[in-house]
């Protein structure tokens, strides 16, 4: 089953607006102190932890930043052709190699997600060699990886069912 979602930039903007509104509500409910202030205190706490992580760096703060910023960090768009997007989802600090998501732009602000694509043991894709062709029923991605240079591979994704 494929899912629809908002475009990456729009979803990121909504997340940032939610964080800013949380910060504003924290300061709005700070005096007089109310129980709801505890709920909104997560927003300044995230800001403080992020600043500490950026200032001190290191493995511990990288883990803290990874956990704290996980809901905000958008997927990184690696390649786009013919309204088909190959992106790398943010999976945290110690993520496995080479997960990709295949999406198709729909109606200006929506994206249709065709699921994750794992390249286990093949290495990262060389995006200079990627070609995407699409028709009504399937998407065909022709690519080469950095580990197997010169070897052309193909991936077919069915738009209406199993891959």
59-97 pLDDT, tens per residue? 777 777 777 777 777 778 888 888 888 888 877 666 777
Distances (CA, A) of 9 to 34, 47, 72, 97, 129: 35, 21, 11, 24, 26
pLDDT at 85: 87
Q: Cα–Cα distance between 40 and 23 in angstroms, integer? A: 7
Specify whether 64 is located in the same domain as 94: no
Q: Cα–Cα distance between 162 and 159 in angstroms, integer? A: 8
Residue at 163 is within a domain: no
Specify whether 12 is located in the same domain as 64: yes
Specify whether 62 is located in the same domain as 85: no
Specify whether 94 is located in the same domain as 153: yes
Q: Cα–Cα distance between 131 and 140 in angstroms, integer? A: 8
Phi-psi region of 68 (alpha: psi -120 to 50; beta: other; left: phi over 0): alpha
Task: State how many domains the chain has.
Answer: 2
pTM of the model: 0.65
Q: Is 128:78 a contact under the CB 8 Å cutoff?
A: no
pLDDT reading at 133 higher than 60: yes
Q: Which domain holds residue 48?
A: 8-69
Specify whether 19 is located in the same domain as 39: yes
pLDDT reading at 148 higher than 80: no
Give the end of a domain, one of 46, 69, 92: 69
The answer to which of 4-8, 55-59, 108-112, 147-151 has the lowest mean pLDDT is: 4-8
pLDDT at 2: 56
Q: Cα–Cα distance between 106 and 133 in angstroms, integer? A: 16
Q: Is 103:110 a contact under the CB 8 Å cutoff?
A: no
């Amino acid at each position: 089953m494929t899912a629809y979602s908002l475009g990456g930039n729009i979803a990121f903007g909504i997340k940032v607006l939610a964080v800013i509104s949380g910060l504003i509500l924290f300061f709005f409910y700070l005096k007089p102190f109310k129980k709801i202030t505890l709920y909104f205190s997560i927003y300044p706490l995230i800001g403080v932890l992020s600043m500490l992580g950026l200032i001190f760096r290191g493995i511990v703060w990288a883990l803290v930043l990874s956990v704290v910023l996980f809901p905000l960090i958008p997927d990184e768009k690696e390649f786009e052709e013919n309204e088909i997007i190959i992106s790398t989802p943010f999976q945290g600090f110690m993520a496995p190699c080479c997960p990709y998501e295949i999406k198709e732009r729909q109606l200006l602000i929506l994206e249709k997600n065709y699921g994750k694509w794992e390249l286990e043991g093949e290495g990262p894709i060389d995006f200079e060699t990627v070609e995407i062709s699409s028709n009504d029923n399937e998407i065909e991605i022709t690519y080469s990886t950095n580990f197997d240079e010169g070897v052309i591979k193909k991936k077919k994704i069915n738009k209406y069912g199993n891959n």
